[in-house]
A and B are shown apart, each in its own frame.
With several copies, the nearest count.
Chain A
Amino acid sequence: MIAAADDQLTIFERSRAGRRAFVAPALDVPERPLDELLAPELRRETEPRLPEVSEPEIVRHYNRLSKRNFDLDTGFYPLGSCTMKHNPKLHERVAALPGHAKLHPLQRPERAQGALELMWRLQDALSEIAGLPHVSLQPSAGSHGELAGVLLTRAYHEDRGEHRTKVLTPDTAHGTNPATVTMAGYEVVKVGTDAHGNVDIDDLRAKADTDVACLMLTNPSTLGLFEPQIEEIAAIVHDVGATLYYDGANLNAIMGICRPGDMGFDIVHFNLHKSFTQPHGGGGPGAGPIAVSDRIEPFLPRPQVIRAEAPDAEVRYELDYDRPRSIGRLRGFQGNFGVFVRSYAYIRSLGAAGLRDVSEVAVLNANYLLARLRAEGVDEFLPAAFDRICMHEFVLSGAPMKRELKIKTLDLAKRLLDHGVHPPTVYFPLLVEEALLVEPTETETKETLDRFASVVAEILREAREDPEVARTAPHTTPVRRLDEAGAARRPVLRQPL
């Protein structure tokens, strides 16, 4: 069909010499010869072969492309570890206010008081939520926050004249944790998980020595389980002089219920694009602020937003660069301010009670969904990896399904697409065979959860009769299974022009 064939053209393939969308503003200064302003040897020989297209074509092209995406405003998106919760529309409105969107990052602080105050208030709120007294908003995403955290740990130890070489991460850790450790110049040491899904305390104790700079932990863990021995873990880590790092990807489970600071964590990162509703944008932008304890504070990145009372008692917000022990910058300017606006609006909309309700319902929804799946008899093939009350997400293992029904977790995931549902995270955490990590979030209705449970049950029923349907799924998507191996073997990473 013509419409479909056409949909696969790139914007470059739609280009026709002479078409244009851009109209240049009038040249209103005396024109000088180009060669005079920029000698030929400085100039490029061939102009960049950008597409030549009109505005209507650009709009239609990307509009059509958009329809080849599944999105959160279309259907259920229980992608574990990602907190695909509703993105309130108000946030886009307030982020777009010219006073925010058109504010230059080097605007002088006295002329950007609203922005600095917003950042200060957000720092304050995040500090309260984390239970730690200091916040830097600078990191650009979760893994950037992790990097900040490990670099802070290094600075902290160096300041004490200590040289440590290792960082502990549980075997359930998200890939960014070990990758961060390497990037921060440490060696990764893995800590095991016990039969209940908790950190193996004995293993931890065995590995926690004075070469260890830090333990990075996610709590609830990537298994969706709260670490009940967290206080003991903190004591072990602190006893050897290491820091305890909190990967905040799963904060959505505990907001207003308990706080990483109270658990003994020294450094926490937030994923504002998860718990605090920054839209995920197809893979960013996000923001990964960090909260830290007093002993880590001196090393925080520069600049910090501070609140100062002028002699005339007028309050002023300032950017403090005068931080001699700071690790320095992790990026340009003041961080992803547009994200801060959204997260701040969210915190104000919900308030203390609303934030707690978020976590309560997130956990309620997850446990309910697990119960509903069980009620559908799904656990025969897709048992929960750990038979416990879960937090905001849970892990199923597709191992029996693979064995009995001859369909893999991947097949189930692909078949879900045919039902208009985004699959959960698959094959993570690595610990669980054929894992499915399901995070419904608090913004989904009971009806949606019920429907998901019956769809999964239906797919399993169908597989019993004919596993081929799932194995060759999806069947109704714009494209079907793609040759990923081929793509990696002979990479085509740009349009040949």
Chain B
Amino acid sequence: MSSYTSATDADRREMLAAIGVDSIDALFADIPESLRLSAPLDLGPGLSEQEVYDELRALAARNFSTEDEVSFVGAGMYDHYVPALIDSITSRSEFLTPYTPYQPEVSQGGLQAMFEYQTAICELTGLPVSNASVYEGPSAVAAAGYVAKHTNGRRKFVISRGVHPHSRETLRTHAHAWGMEVVEAPLKDGVTVLPDLDDDVSAVIVQQPNFLGAVEDLEGLSDAAHAAGALSICAGDPLPLALLRSPGECGVDIAVGEGQTLGNRLDFGGPSFGFFATTQALLRRIPGRISGETRDVEGKRGFVLTLQTREQHIRREKATSNICTAQALNALAGVIYLSWLGRRGIVELTELMLQRTAYARGRLAELDGVEPLHDRPVVREFALALDAPVEAVMARCLQEGINPGYPLGGDYPEHENGLLVAITERRTRAEIDRLVEVLGAAVAAERGRTLQEVGA
């Protein structure tokens, strides 16, 4: 017996007797003999709690977390400080262990939190409707595409090359099954240049700020989409929205993005949550759960899952999405985080990042062999072009305990030695100064080497 099951030998005997069979095996009679395993699975024996703990701790110790290096890596997920009160609330079993609130009478906690979350997302995006969460960022882009497809039935997506590479690839994976084409709009000077939009275009998808950190002319892009009768979809991280013109203000139809930065830990990429906000017009096409306010029979305020006729458990093959289990706990962390920041705090935090980012960008650009990849305004992340092999530079920096950023070459062959540098509120000036020093030395050393090699 494991420590998680409770049936003692005596229990088993009594229970089998009550069922009227004489062995547990008899309960599996429906399984054809030929399919029954004759040997145990090849998984080894069970372990004690401390042994499992020790094993997992040893594995974890082989990773370099943001506590083990000074990390300037962002590129879609960011090392923000997660306040302790989030853990303290989300670890309460009442939030941690129930499932989707199918029984609203005993799920008001989760339902109200969803409602609050939706409100906060509407505030950030400037859009009137939000669902209660989707899986995460890139699949949210695909989900937005699915709404566009159903809305106008057109056959093409135009997606900016400034959208996160994972989002672009995820969209492509889906679009293929929908028989749709995906066209990439190139970047020039760091920002999106749209091709001519014909009336095959279902949606124009951009990211704000884009993957290279640049703030896009969201309104212009949106207007262009609308002029072609397409939907305007904006992806992005919600935190910079504290300062930037919101998607709603810019006329965007659907705003989606990765919610990790709102109080969720990095977790090597998940679980986090995706947000999905849209206009009133698209309300009935939204994927996923939505919480709505209502009253009980005594007139008391309460919340329920609503507009369920969109959903798979009601509409089955006609549902607006197949999503079922989403990311409720992560979205809860999101709304707690936003309450913790508050109306003033979110601006203070974002402005702090803006200032430190400007400082870092300025200082790094002064280095020999380091150029800004574009000159557009940025909030928390910016791209550099190194005049040295980026992988070799990275290796040198890592040796000094500095992870200087995300090399762009893999996703953007046109920026072979590009480096994307993120500055969250976790990165102090001292750390930035150290980055400048270490990166400067690394680039210099690599340029020296290259010159030598060329000389030789």
Contacts and interface: CB of A to CB of B under 8 A. Distances in A.
Touch between A and B in complex, CB under 8 Å? Answer: yes
Contact of B325 (A45, A92, A283): A283
B108 to A, nearest CB: 4
Contacts of B243: 38, 43-44
Main secondary structure of the interface of A (DSSP, over half): loop
B36 A257 contact: yes
A48 B329 contact: no
Contacts of B105: 414, 417, 474, 477-482
A260 to B, nearest CB: 10
Interface in A380-428: 388-389, 391, 413-414, 417, 422-423, 425, 428
Interface string B23-62: 0101111111011110011111111111111011111111
B324 A334 contact: no
B118 A38 contact: no
B343 interface: yes
A484 B345 contact: no
Interface stretch (B151-159, B226-234, B333-341): B333-341
Interface stretch (B3-11, B197-205, B447-455): B3-11
B186 interface: no
B12 A29 contact: no
Interface residues of B, number: 215
Interface in A474-497: 474, 477-484, 486-488, 491-495, 497
Contact of B116 (A12, A89, A281, A472): A12
* Residue in A15, A44, A286, A327 whose Cβ sees the most chain B Cβ within 10 Å: A44
* Residue in A90, A184, A230 whose Cβ sees the most chain B Cβ within 10 Å: A90
Given A67-B109, A353-B45, A358-B2, A98 B67 contact: yes
Contacts of B108: 65, 68-69, 478-479
A83 to B, nearest CB: 10
B195 interface: no
Interface string B425-453: 10011101000000000000000000000
Interface in A60-91: 61-63, 65-74, 77, 79, 82, 84-91
Contact of A112 (B16, B268, B319): B268
A102 B298 CA distance: 47
* Residue in A42, A96, A497 whose Cβ sees the most chain B Cβ within 10 Å: A42
A168 B210 CA distance: 41
B456 interface: no
B267 A337 contact: yes
A129 B116 contact: no
Contacts of A273: 325
A142 B135 CA distance: 11
B309 A114 contact: no
Contact of B4 (A54, A228, A478): A54
A97 to B, nearest CB: 4
A25 B102 CA distance: 41
A461 interface: no
A332 to B, nearest CB: 4
Given A55-B340, A66-B94, A183 B65 contact: no
A65 B16 CA distance: 33
A470 interface: no
Contacts of B398: 108, 111
Contacts of A423: 103
17 contacts: A10-B112, A22-B349, A23-B48, A26-B48, A43-B243, A99-B57, A100-B267, A103-B268, A106-B77, A178-B317, A231-B34, A282-B98, A284-B326, A337-B267, A364-B24, A491-B290, A494-B119
